[in-house]
Amino acid sequence: MYYKNSRFLPMFTNYTVDKLNTDHHPEILNVWEASVRATHHFLEEADIQVYKMLIGEEYLDTLQLFGIKHENDQLLGFIGISEKAIRLLFVLPTARAMGIGLSLVNYVYQHLYVNEVDVNEQNVQAYNFYKHLGFEVIERAATDAIGKPFPVLSMKIPSPA
């Protein structure tokens, strides 16, 4: 795949962020699943299938969705927001560490004033990503939104003093 050897990419890449719609839902779910399988090792197969069904059938329709595509129109990563919070941010495993997640977060922060996120506590890479961007933990829940025993950290970029 084109992105497998990212050392040939420029150090800084300007990505175009596109608004996504219901036509993109199947591709969004594919990116979500590939990313979850690469990063959410604490989930069992049954958990992945439950979340995939909920996201595809209920959740995507409630979000504003934005994405970054490769020049061949392949979706590389997406972000879903509601109520000034990031609800979903996922990047294809082959496109990680290329600034796609950073570009998506920056876009919603700059244009839509989104400054909150919930992250699975066991997903240390995601936690460290948001912490590096200036998000701070403001709350911890022992379970996720559907009551499963996956602790969730609510994080927020503090207001300037």
CATH of the domain at 71: 3.40.630.30
Is residue 108 domain-resident?
yes
Is residue 90 domain-resident?
yes
**In whole angstroms, what is the distance from residue 117 CA to residue 129 CA?**
11
Is residue 130 domain-resident?
no
Is residue 160 domain-resident?
no
- What pLDDT is attached to residue 47? 85
Q: What is the pTM of this model?
A: 0.85
Q: What is the largest CA-CA distance in the chain?
A: 45
Q: Is 46 helix (H, G, I), strand (E, B) or coil?
A: helix
Strand partners, 17: 68
User: What domain count does the chain have?
Assistant: 1
User: In the chain, pLDDT over 90 holds for what percent of residues?
Assistant: 47
| Structure-token pair, residue 95 | 């496109």
- What pLDDT is attached to residue 136? 94
